Amino acid sequence: MPDNALLKVEFADNPEPRCPVVLLLDTSGSMAGEKIGELNEGLAVFEQELKADPLAALRVEVAIVTFGPVRVREVKSGVGDAIRSDAGEAFVAATDFMAPNLSSEGNTPMGEAIRTGLKLLRERKQIYKQNAIQYYRPWMFLITDGEPNDDWKNAARELRAEEDGKGVLFFAIGVDKADMDVLGQLSGKRGPMKLRGMAFREMFQWLSHSLAQVSRSRVNDAVNLPPPGWGQIDTSN
């Protein structure tokens, strides 16, 4: 057989499976100053790290919801304008993700943000199904320095139902004076984590590396996430 016989082999053209992630970011007034600056730098690191992994860059899709007030953010240009809550527009592949520059305002409607994130994920899955795109279990990553000032208990119930149906992996991260007690009551699966100081950069590195691992994993195969060097599991509640 000539050496080049296997060069004739062509590959099936399947769309890459997608791993959607929603970042729920607290941008309330208490985040003003150093914290929002570090958060923005962390998002820029997140963008760089995701794009540095060619496979993850194709498979991971990012949407950002800020609170308060609750806004879905445009993440294609780096401007980060508020856009309507629509899963077709809210998510971009990591290759096209441009970290927004966020500013702080308002209070902390965490419950509404969680419900918005869950809605976006449900809609995104519908889009995948309609287009025969395979997908991984979505991630939702909440970062806050405060306590919710809206009806977070109903949102927690909705979140737990979604978790029980294996619909989402939820992580809550407390910064500075965050109410870790409330954060501990959101997820039914996983305790909140406390960010060490202002280690946003390390946290977003961890998140991008973890998503990169998930985006090449199998669902029933446990993913060995890298150890979080940026915080600790809060076991006090």
* Interface with another protein (CB under 8 A): 1, 3, 5-6, 8-15, 17, 55, 132, 134-137, 216-224
What are phi and psi for residue 23, nearest 5 degrees? -95, 120
Nearer to another protein, 32 or 55 (CB): 55
- Note the helical H segments in the chain: 34-52, 54-59, 87-90, 110-130, 152-164, 180-183, 200-214
CA of 172: how far to CAs of 51, 92, 116, 119, 158, in Å? 24, 22, 16, 18, 15
DSSP-assigned beta bridge partners for residue 61? 20, 93
Nearer to another protein, 18 or 115 (CB): 18
Q: Least distance to another protein from the beta carbon of 18, Å?
A: 8
Q: Least distance to another protein from the beta carbon of 199, Å?
A: 24
Nearer to another protein, 129 or 153 (CB): 129
Q: Least distance to another protein from the beta carbon of 140, Å?
A: 16
- One-letter identity of residue 67: F
Nearer to another protein, 55 or 82 (CB): 55
Q: Least distance to another protein from the beta carbon of 94, Å?
A: 16
